[in-house]
Amino acid sequence: MAVAIWPDLIGSLGCSVGFVALVCRSWYRKAGWLCSLSEKKAIFSYKTCIRSIAARATPRFKLIWWRPFAPDSPTPIAFLARHSIAAQPRVFPLSSINYPHPPNNPPYSTMKPLLLLFLLFLPLFSIASQDPHILPRPLILELPSHGGTEPSIAGSAGGEAEEEGEESAELRRLRCSSWRFAAEANNLGPWKTVPADCAGYVREFMTGRAYKSDLEIVAQSAAAYARSVRLAGDGMDVWVFDVDETLLSNLPYYADHGYGHELFDAHEFDKWVEKSIAPAIQSSLKLYEEVRALGFKVFLLTGRSEGHRTFTVENLKKVGFQDWDRLILRGPDDRGKPATMFKSEKRREMEVDGYRILGNSGDQWSDLLGSSLSNRSFKLPNPMYYIP
């Protein structure tokens, strides 16, 4: 890093020191009543000169420096004796000091304004020595290049292209992260597929640690709420669970279909369901078992068709889900209904039967919104698809 202001600072400092020296020497010679060189022939002292100037600027007393108060003096000050610069300071009461201005010496009322003018115009002495047509140089910072050597033109172009590529990748990741946030917050409205430039981002999210971490946070929050609820003890307190991407994970299926980048194919998905090999979401399995142990009734409410009941039951039991109280699937009369409408109607039927829906877990907003809502709802992450 190169700084281009040091010559100016050095020049200004030199001029300032020289001017102060001349003024101090002139005032020093005039202030013989305070700073005499004739008796001791001491070497010229800037410190003494500055003290002399400070003493002249004092309206009534020739004050040089302070010392701790002596016990025998109520208001003492340290004062430099007239007869010697090197003399030790004496202690005088304030009431005993009243020196008139010495002859041939201007009073402080004249010198003080001159001192103030000198301080105001001091920066001009350095500027006057420069070329008036050249503006003062700014502070210039030069960052060292990588490796301490200047890159070639080809290397520079390649580096710029690489930096632009990295910047574009970072911006793309940031935009896709914002898109996922908007999708999870239900701010996008109906959408059919993951944007093409975010397919890689969604794949990394679903297969990485972030997705599992989000699932665990939701499950922990739901479990904390379940433990805080005081159940009536009559067996009518219910927790509702969705199935796909809530209890069972369909990631193996979506890994072969672009993690949501491809349009949903109901026929292909039905073939996957009939395999009954979807793994459990472990954080949801833990929550499921804890809710059961706390005394909740567990109702499973899924958009799968009634024709897949056998496959769904087999899959759930195979991965550890046991002893649910109801498994509700779409019947023939529910075909074509939006998921929000279908699940609202089923929750309404629960309430008609006298059940109290205290908790609800699902990966889609259509699992949680509508009518006959639960006391608390918990949204699991799922940026792969949207079901209205």
> Could you report the per-residue pLDDT of 192-222, keeping only the tens digit for each?
999 999 999 999 999 999 999 999 999 999 9
Q: Where are the alpha helices (DSSP H) in 31-152?
A: 46-56, 108-128
Question: Scanning the structure block, which residue is given the tokens 């597929």?
Answer: 193
At 276, give phi and psi (nearest 5°): 55, 45
CB atoms within 10 A of CB 141: 9
Residue 129: which H helix or E strand, with range? none
Do 323 and 292 touch, CB atoms closer than 8 A? yes
Each domain of the chain, given as residue ranges in start order, spans 170-379
Distance CA 288, CA 218 (A): 13
Q: What is the pLDDT of residues 316-337, one digit of tens each?
A: 999 999 999 999 999 999 999 9
CA distances to 61, 99, 280, 344 from 55, rounded to whole Å, are 7, 12, 89, 92
Paired tokens of 143: 């960052």
pLDDT digits (tens, 9 = 90+) for 64-114: 333 343 444 444 333 333 333 444 444 444 444 444 444 444 554 555 556
In the prediction, which pLDDT does 43 show?
Answer: 42
Beta strands (DSSP E) in the chain are 76-79, 90-93, 237-241, 297-305, 326-330, 356-362, 376-379
- Identify the pLDDT of residue 300: 98
Band (pLDDT 50/70/90 cuts) for residue 38 is very low
Domain range 170-379, its CATH number among 3.90.320.10, 3.90.79.10, 1.10.760.10, 3.40.50.1000? 3.40.50.1000
Cβ atoms of 251 and 386 closer than 8 Å: no
